[in-house]
Structure 1
Amino acid sequence: MQFGIQQWSSYVDIQTSVVLPLEKMTNLDHVYLCSGQIQVQIQEGPLYRVKGYPISISCNVTGFTGPSNRDFQFILKKPNVELNMISTSDPEFAYGMFSGRIRNKEMYIQRLSGSSVLLTINNLLENDAGDLLCETLHTGGAYYGDYAAETKLNGKIFIYFEGLRASYSGSPSQSLSEGDPLQLECQVSSQTFQHTHLSVTWFLHGEEDEIPRPIITLDKDLTVKPGAGFEDGYRAGLISMDKVEDTTYRLKMPQVQQSDQGKFFCKAIEWIQDPDRSWTQIAHKTTTACNVEIKRIAVRHSFHSHGAESQQATRRTVPVSS
């Protein structure tokens, strides 16, 4: 993109990224550079994501003066075409394939600060693959630096459905008594071609629980973590989780209690490490549940029964005075 001299007073050429005072443009040996340097930074790519899942990408700008809130726009670059995606300042900026998703809040920009924004796409489509360009708009003044940055969303992963699989193949229900052992297994695997890690959590949804409670997790770094409220049972050896071979995750509870009654299920999450070394969730799956009924053991009040029989015997043997 090239601009004539008459345009430099109101626009920055993002290809050259240098602003020249008009009176000095004919003498490049005496270029005056301003005190501030614009630098736009976007999350480093490539970013590998799964079709149908969300993505959030941050973009920020430094080195400017003037208005505290900067305007941003995102452009999706594909071979031989650039598609306007979304803008903080122009509601008509988006290309047709994005405008409906913006209206439905499937794609939006969240302002983190005056100089930083977060682009979120809730449901990735195959057509979202490409190079994502983030620009900050020039609002006047003499600046030099980079007004745009881009990251690459690797398109190959978008053309496949997710490779994560999770299933529970055991009995849909079990009836136990207090003190009985409980053992449940779920199978989790991934066919994703990128290197990913898995975390697996067993949940319990009791009758009085508003939401399911995590019992125990085998995290992506292979550490085992008990859920809130299950720490004592974990430390006492009453709750454990094992990975058997490559795909089986086994929950073991050697002595169940009445409070353990409810629906047990397994949730798997697939994680990928981005170039900035952070771990990002790219897919998740939840298995069907096993409904576990736990019968309370009846306690016999033997002491009271024995006392009543003794009293009856005493009444039978005590003589009546005349």
Structure 2
Amino acid sequence: MRRTMVASVKTAPFVFLLWVLHCALGRDVTLPLGPLYRVAGFPLAVPCAVSAYEGPRTQDFEWFLYRDDSGGRQLGVVSTRDKDFPYTPFQARVRNGEVRIERDSGDAVRLVIQKLRADDQGKYECYTPSTDSVYQGNYSSMVEVKVIPDTLQISFTRSLTSQPVPEGAEVKLTCSASIQSEQLTHLSITFGKRGVGESSGSGAGGEVSTVREIISIDNMLAVVPGRSFKKRYDDGEITLEKRNGEGGQGVYVMRIKAVQPDDSGSYFCEAAQWIRDPDRSWQKIAQRTLDVGNLTVQQLAESLSVTSSPRGEVTLQIGTPLILTCEVLGLPSDVNSGLLVQWMKRGSGGPDGVTAGGVEVEVARMSTDGVVSWGDDLSRASGGSMEKVAEGRYTLKLFSARPLDTGSYRCVVSVYAGRRNPGPSVAATLTQKSEGVVVNLKTKDVKVSAVAQLKRGPLLKRGSTITLICNATITTTRPAQARVKWLQWPLPEPFVRRSSSDAAPLDAPKKPKLVAYLTYDGVANIITNGSEISVDRLSAVGYRLRVHTATMEDQGMYACSVEAWSQDPHGGWYNTGVEAESNAVTVYLYARVEDLLFIPLIVGVSSALFVGIVIIASVTCCFMKRLARQRARK
């Protein structure tokens, strides 16, 4: 008896497990938790799925409705297997597709009522006919649907006109919306745009499918930019704010601070009502869309023009002022735009005028906030100015023009449409350039000559001081000074001795090394890092280079290059661009006496060492041979 009871206790959990598995393997039909609150006039979609079934993968579904006032009587709504299944209240709606079954998969469908009516309220049953070998499990499920009245209201206070809006202008759209519901529902607002050829899909129950959302306040009151407008939202160019209006309405204002050509299109405002179902998911239960007009953006490139004056070519005397004017036309007066104005120059000045080509460099610029900065030639900051003399007019003034100021000038204007003070990462809306103004400067006749010579004296040896003289002559009508550069070439191979007045050999290197130079105002600059070097001015025309304690690396051919600097009427000094290079002087270092004495010493020591080695080798050799003969006799 005890054994039988023990066996029964052990068998009971196993039987219970089999029963659980049996139930779990039975057919199961599932619907969402209810009740589901939906708005009259808008869509209802109820999903239904079947699982743990036998038979084909594609299952049939039938929907029934139990109205609140039907006393428990069922109405056939729609079926996947019988087209004559709908009862009279649903037959016409099923035929025109307003009531239908949409299949998500073989065993999952949705009951869709496109426009919900008040008498559609009740309990909906989803039934799946059996395809199982054994009838077990759940073959139907029910959910309650509550139909609430449509209280969603939407309006706008101002629509877009058909007049083109200039690029960079601010556009503001205002939309009002409200809901009055006994249930806890939320409201979302979306501003969007359609391109040409896209349908609106507006009206009760309509769905906007081809929408470019600009910005929204979602059902959780969060501001969400559209994917293609996120950067502009992050930059603060697109904003959306909510205000409290009359009668409990919410007023929503979207601003586009600087419209772009891509902003052209048809704009709409969409309001949606949301509710949270018992399964904690948010559902959109109502939606209305209003068109607020078309926007056409007039591109800035169609109206903007940049000119510079004087036009063509201008020739000035050195030292006279150079004044260039840049004028920006075609900017919309009602758009607050920032301008970056630059003066660029191409070509360089020389004694023969403007050199064609070359790299375009910046002379000066005025930023959007009015700050002036100068290019590579910072000396111009004290010798020139850049000013805004009127709206859209900018001048560049060089108080005293120099030969290096010759070139082709043009004005470059970058417009930041609608952005008075753009950030450093903001790209310009449009950049335009004016035609070039060729500036030539006349110089008085300037002639320069240079002669280099080696100072007479004893033969130069290693450790001596090399002294070179450069006689520079400048002929001009204005005060002038010389800028003297000393150049060095290495001795050519093979070296042929020449007199100090001879020119450089034909096979001398073409690019010399700059040793030192003396500026026009007497400042010495030593370039080489080798021997001790000094440069000075001996007289009005004489300049000297001295290489102290010369080494063999200081040998070579030396020449001086002379640049003529002149003084303008305002007292400023400038490079005339006229220069001359002297003849080449050969510097060769002879051996010192102690070096000559050291040679025989080395030769003598080497000879003595050689003789000693020969003697030792001969004696050793003879001694070894004699020793060998003595051993042989024994």
Pairwise TM-score range, normalised by the shorter structure: 0.7 to 0.9
Q: Which amino acid aligns with 2:95?
A: R
C-alpha displacement at 1:287, in angstroms?
2.1
Q: Does residue 1:130 correspond to 2:122, yes or no?
A: yes
Q: Which residue of 2 aligns with 1:117?
A: 109
Q: Report if aligned partners of 2:53, 2:131 keep a CA contact under 8 Å in 1.
A: no
The CA deviation string for residues 230-263 of structure 1, in whole angstroms up to 9 with x for no partner, is: 2221111111111112601111122223333343
Further displaced range: 100-109 or 251-260 = 251-260
Check the 8 A contact 1:180/1:255 in 2, yes or no.
yes
Q: Kindly tell me: are residues 141 and 227 of structure 1, through their superposed partners in 2, closer, same or farther at Cα, counting changes over 3 Å?
A: same
Q: Distance in 2 between matches of 1:295 and 1:116?
A: 52
Indicate the residue corresponding to 2:353 in structure 1: none
Aligned with 2:224: secondary structure? strand
In the alignment, structure 1 residue 299 sits paired with structure 2 residue 304? yes
Letter in 2 for 1:240: T
Alignment of 1:88-237 (within 5 A): 88-139=80-131, 141-155=133-147, 157=148, 160=149, 162-173=150-161, 176-206=165-195, 212-237=211-236
Bigger RCO (CA 8 Å, 6+ sep): 1
**Shift of residue 293 of structure 1?**
4.2
More displaced stretch, 229-238 vs 66-75: 66-75
C-alpha distance in structure 1 between counterparts of 2:178 and 2:103, whole Å: 37
**TM-score when scaled to structure 1?**
0.77
* Aligned positions of 1:215-294 closer than 5 A: 215-245=214-244, 247-294=250-297
Question: How far 1:95 sits from its partner (Å)?
Answer: 0.5
Q: Does residue 308 of the first structure (1) align with residue 312 of the second (2)? A: yes
Distance (Å, rounded) in 2 between the aligned partners of 1:208 and 1:102: 31
Give the deviation of 1:172 after TM superposition. 4.1
Alignment CA distance shift 1:283-1:310 (3 Å) = farther
Query: CA 1:99 to 1:215, structure 2 compared with 1: closer, same or farther past 3 Å?
Result: same
Q: Note the alpha carbon deviations across 1:110-156, whole angstroms, 9 max, x for none.
A: 3333332221111212221111011121345323222221000114x
Residue 6 (structure 1) aligns with: none
Measured in 1, the distance between the counterparts of 2:114 and 2:256 equals 38
CA contact (8 A) 2:159 2:292 kept: no
Deviation at 1:63, TM superposition (A): 2.6
Please state how far the C-alpha of 1:280 moved relative to its aligned partner: 1.4
In structure 2, distance between residues paired with 1:292 and 1:107: 38
* Equivalent residue letter for 2:270: K
Deviation at 1:209, TM superposition (A): 7.0
Secondary structure at the aligned position of 1:277 is classed as coil
Aligned counterpart, 1:22? none
8 Å Cα contact 1:33-1:143 kept in structure 2: no
Whole-Å Cα distance in 2 between the matches of residues 112 and 65 of structure 1?
19
Amino acid at match of 2:186: H
**Letter of the structure 1 residue corresponding to residue 100 of structure 2:** Y
Report the more deviating stretch, 263-272 or 138-147.
138-147
Aligned-pair CA distance for 1:34: 9.5
Please point out which of 46, 51, 58 is paired with 1:57: 46
Within 2, Cα distance between the matches of 1:194 and 1:115? 33
Indicate conservation of the 8 Å contact 1:198/1:220, yes or no: yes
Q: SS at the partner of 1:144?
A: coil
Which residue in 2 is equivalent to 1:24? none
Structure 1 residues without counterparts, runs of 5 or longer:
1-31
Aligned residues, how many? 282
184-193 vs 251-260, which moves further: 251-260
132-141 or 279-288: which moved more?
A: 132-141
Q: CA deviation at 1:194?
A: 1.6
Q: Which amino acid aligns with 1:299?
A: L
- Look up the equivalent residue of 1:256 and give its one-letter code: V
Q: Distance in 1 between matches of 2:20 and 2:54?
A: 14
SS of corresponding position for 2:142: strand
- The DSSP-based 3-state class of the residue aligned with 1:149 is strand
Q: 1:72 aligns with which of 55, 61, 72?
A: 61
Query: CA–CA distance in 1 between the matches of 2:214 and 2:59?
Result: 45
Gaps of 5+ in 2: 1-18, 200-209, 316-436, 443-634
Partner residue, 1:8? none
Against the structure 1 CA distance between its residues 145 and 209, is the aligned structure 2 distance closer, same or farther, given a 3 Å change threshold?
A: closer
Check the 8 A contact 1:258/1:296 in 2, yes or no. yes
8 Å CA contact 1:107, 1:122 repeated in 2:
yes
Task: Pick the structure with greater CA Rg.
Answer: 2
Separation of aligned partners in 2, 1:106 and 1:64: 30
Instruction: Tell me the distance in 2 between the aligned counterparts of 1:90 and 1:218.
Output: 45
Q: Following the alignment from structure 1 to structure 2, what is the Cα–Cα distance between the partners of residues 252 and 38?
A: 56
Separation in 1 of the partners of 2:276 and 2:28? 25
Residue 187 of structure 1: CA displacement? 0.4
Q: Distance in 1 between matches of 2:84 and 2:197?
A: 49
Please say if residues 46 and 151 of structure 1, whose CA atoms lie closer than 8 Å, have aligned partners that are also in contact: yes
For residues 163 and 111 of structure 1, the distance between their equivalents in structure 2, rounded to whole angstroms, comes to: 31
Q: How far did residue 302 of structure 1 move? A: 1.3
Secondary structure of 2:137's aligned partner:
strand
**Separation in structure 2 between the aligned mates of residue 93 and residue 280 of structure 1, nearest angstrom:** 30
Counterpart-to-counterpart distance in 2, 1:73 and 1:167: 41
8 Å contact kept, 2:54–2:131: no
The equivalent of 2:404 in structure 1 is: none
% same residue? 35
Superposed CA deviations along residues 181-222 of structure 1, whole A, max 9, x for unmatched, are 222211011123221112211123355878552211111112
Distance 1:144 1:82 in 2: 23
